[in-house]
Amino acid sequence: MRPYRAPWWLPGGHLQTLYPYFVLRRRPPAYRRERWETPDGDFIDLDWLDERDHSAPLVALFHGLEGASDSHYASALMRSAMRRHWRGVVIHFRGCSGEPNRMPRAYHSGDADEIAWILGRLRELNPATPLFAAGVSLGGNALLKWLGRQRASARGVIDAAAAVSAPMDLMTAGDRLGTGVNRLYGRHFLRTLRKKSLAKLERFPALYDSRMVRRARTLREFDNVVTAPLHGYRDTDDYWTRASSKPDLRYIEVPTLIVHARNDPFLPGRYLPEEGEVSASVTLDLPHGGGHTGFASGPFPGNLGWLPERLLDFFSENLATAR
């Protein structure tokens, strides 16, 4: 497949990030929703493509922070899977499917245990089907964290993986979201995160301090009050350090593609892993352009075809060794 090159008419990482979100979003494909009860009494919702051939390869997508099955990258990947007559499913993290989850916990960047349970169940339900996992942004970091933690045992669950625009160095990415122009992205995420967190206090009044939630102006401040303590971390620094996937990349043993633009506003090129920092199973695709989860291509007004085809081509290369 051709290497990614950003269109000449779409310069800069910020424009390449925002343009697909505001201009190229399409109505998502028709999904069939399924609810799974979690082992701890909560639930997650999965949106499936209704493909009748249950022997076709299955692509499971984990979305980014406050994303969902209608996110532009999710719709694009699922539509590409449909064109190949593959099966597809978008897994919603807890609280991201349009309905509040039941438990105090939500989801976070290092949620490898949740990834393990979901992929393990998908494999149980599809024992003879090629199973591929993709993660975007937060979902990509959590997927990479699981892959590095599981090492060789992950090969018994999935056949290949891909991570797109993953904040592999959370300390850098998180702090950058609190400075300069990037603060606009941080405020965008905080609007829904604050709303969900305050609503949760109606059911769990002593969970955290509502005044501190309202005062949070950056993701660092929000994670310190809500995300870190809810999920077993001491504070933001502990969370961002332990949940970062970059140190785990050298232990991955499943064929894994990492797609990340060097002009990503959250984690630009100088912070990205180099060949010596990843295992032989990891393929780095680090184009100069693309922004954060953007990767628009083609003549004006552009399209979102390059990224899903890049991922599916990589998965296709691994079909020969899949079950």
The answer to whether residues 205 and 238 belong to one domain is: yes
Note if 292 is an active site residue: yes
The verdict on 110 and 256 lying in the same domain is yes
* 138-167 pLDDT, tens digit each: 999 999 999 999 999 999 999 999 999 999
Torsion of CA 15, 195, 144, 7, to 10 degrees: -10
Q: In terms of residue numbers, what domain contains 148?
A: 13-168+244-317
Residue 299, pLDDT score: 96
Q: For 200-245, how does the pLDDT look when each residue is reduced to its tens digit (9 = 90+)?
A: 999 999 999 999 999 999 999 999 999 999 999 999 999 999 999 9
Catalytic residue among 63, 72, 260, 292: 292
What is the count of structural domains for the chain?
A: 2
Q: Clarify whether 264 is annotated catalytic.
A: yes
Q: Tell me if 323 is assigned to some domain.
A: no
Global pTM value: 0.97
Same structural domain, 209 and 83? no
Q: What is the pLDDT of residues 7-18, one digit of tens each?
A: 999 999 999 999
Final residue of a structural domain among 243, 275, 299: 243
Residue 152 shares a structural domain with residue 23: yes
82: tokens are: 């449909």
The answer to whether residue 263 sits within a structural domain is yes
- Of 71, 97, 109, 137, the active-site residue reads 137
Shared domain for 144 and 163, answered yes or no, is yes
- Residue 208 and residue 258 in one domain: no
User: Using CA of residue 210, residue 102, residue 75, residue 78, what is the dihedral sign?
Assistant: positive
pLDDT tens by residue, 163-184: 999 999 999 999 999 999 999 9
What pLDDT digit, counting tens, does each position of 189-206 carry? 999 999 999 999 999 999
Residue 131 pLDDT level (bands cut at 50, 70, 90)? very high
Given the residues 45, 169, 264, 285, select the one marked as catalytic.
Answer: 264
For 25-68, what is each residue's pLDDT tens digit? Answer: 899 999 999 999 999 999 999 999 987 788 899 999 999 999 99
